[in-house]
Amino acid sequence: MKVSAPATIANFGPGFDVFGLCLEKPMDVIEVKLADEVEVKVEGYEVPEDPSRNVASVSALSLLGEVGVESGFKMKIKKGIRPTSGLGSSGASALGGALAIAKLLGVEDKETILRAALEGEKVASGTPHGDNVVPALFGGFVVLNSLFPLNVVKIDVKLKLVVVLPEVKVSTKKARELLPKYVPLRDAVKNLALASSLVLALEEGDIEEAGRLLDDYLAIPYRKPLIAWFDKVRRAALENGAYGLSISGSGPAVFALGDNLKEIGKAVVEAFEEEGIKAEYFISGVGGGAE
Ligand SMILES: Nc1ncnc2c1ncn2[C@@H]1O[C@H](COP(=O)(O)OP(=O)(O)O)[C@@H](O)[C@H]1O
Ligand SMILES: N[C@@H](CCOP(=O)(O)O)C(=O)O
């Protein structure tokens, strides 16, 4: 059984742990067949082949456990999403591993698949968060109300965005450790206003307005030590016509909405280079989810 699991943009501005957008590319491709032992082989970007440390095998093992099937498997991962990118690299593999085994066994229940995927995601992030695995499964833009019971609102928004990926690593686990337990009420209120307006703008297909609402007071300010260049690259995007720019997931990738995505991508790459950081950009539409 072969499954392709796409990159995702978690948080999408003000939606910390709640919003997620599925991208068309890049993606991981995960192939599994049942076997006596558990074996993991990886091509492409480097991630552990130890089955207890690879998020895809952890979620596959968790799914087998959930449905009470005693079996091992051989798993091949074509790792197309750079790890520690902020593009849901661990989320894609975690979802892909669970989904591939589920398809093999004829398990269709989405909560069962997501429960297993979150076990994998927990290995990478410390605490499980669903804003990568859920959009990777459903595609489109999702608002994650609750995982168990599963309650997801999906908007099939049509947009193109530019993603810029700098050559620095940010571990989601470390980025989550920087977050405070409590936030000031005024910041929570600002995010509430931004997030609700952003959902309406996306529902109406008003991408310009959506771009203007890509702000966040809950996570990004506390993560500044890991993304010191953020204000500079954001300014470069806005000066070159972007409607808005934000961090993808916990970073370091950033994404922007705008008309002239190529120009914005080049300007943001240049801004990174002025900081001595190599970067590359790509343009993507909204993906339809894992297949
Ligand atoms: N199959 C996998 N895909 C991606 N990362 C994995 C995988 N298995 C284990 N990991 C580990 O998870 C971490 C990357 O996850 P994370 O920090 O969440 O990055 P991202 O934001 O790109 O998902 C790295 O330490 C990586 O070695
Ligand atoms: N809501 C999470 C999203 C992490 O996404 P990733 O792509 O960086 O793994 C967070 O902000 O911690």
SS3 sequence of 221-286: HHHHHHCCCHHHHHHHHHHCCEEEEEECCCCCCEEEEECCHHHHHHHHHHHHHHCCCCEEEEEEEE
Q: Which of 172, 178, 220 to mutate to test the pocket of ligand 2 (most atoms within 8 A of CB)?
A: 172
For residue 115, what are its two tokens? 């429960």
| CA 89 / ligand 1 centre spacing (Å) | 6
Average pLDDT in the 84-91 region? 97
Ligand 2 contact via 122 beta carbon (within 6 Å): no
| CA 34 / ligand 2 centre spacing (Å) | 31
The verdict on pTM exceeding 0.90 is yes
Task: Tell me the per-residue pLDDT of 36-77, one tens digit each, with 9 for 90 and over.
Answer: 999 999 999 999 999 999 999 999 999 999 999 999 999 999
Residue 86 assigned ligand-binding role: yes
In the chain, the domains with their CATH numbers are 2-154 (3.30.230.10), 158-285 (3.30.70.890)
Q: How far apart are CA 252 and CA 231, in angstroms?
A: 13
Closest-lying ligand 1 atom to the alpha carbon of residue 121: 18
Quickly list H helices, 126-179. 133-138, 172-177
From the candidates 8, 66, 119, 172, give the one annotated as an active-site residue: 172
Q: Which of 16, 27, 127, 129 to mutate to test the pocket of ligand 2 (most atoms within 8 A of CB)?
A: 129
Separate counts of helices (H) and strands (E) for the chain? 10, 10
Average pLDDT in the 256-269 region? 98
Say what the pLDDT of residue 50 is.
Answer: 97
pLDDT at 128 over 90: no
Is 121 labeled as catalytic in the residue annotation? yes
| CA 265 / ligand 2 centre spacing (Å) | 22
Q: Are 124 and 90 in contact (CB under 8 A)?
A: yes
From the candidates 8, 66, 119, 121, give the one annotated as an active-site residue: 121
3-class SS of residue 103: helix
- Which amino acid residue places its CA nearest to atom 4 of ligand 2? 249
* Beta-carbon contacts of residue 46 (< 8 Å; ≥ 6 apart): 79, 83
Is 172 labeled as catalytic in the residue annotation? yes
pLDDT at 127 over 90: no
pLDDT at 242 over 90: yes
* Average pLDDT, rounded, for the chain: 97
Ligand 1 contact via 125 beta carbon (within 6 Å): yes
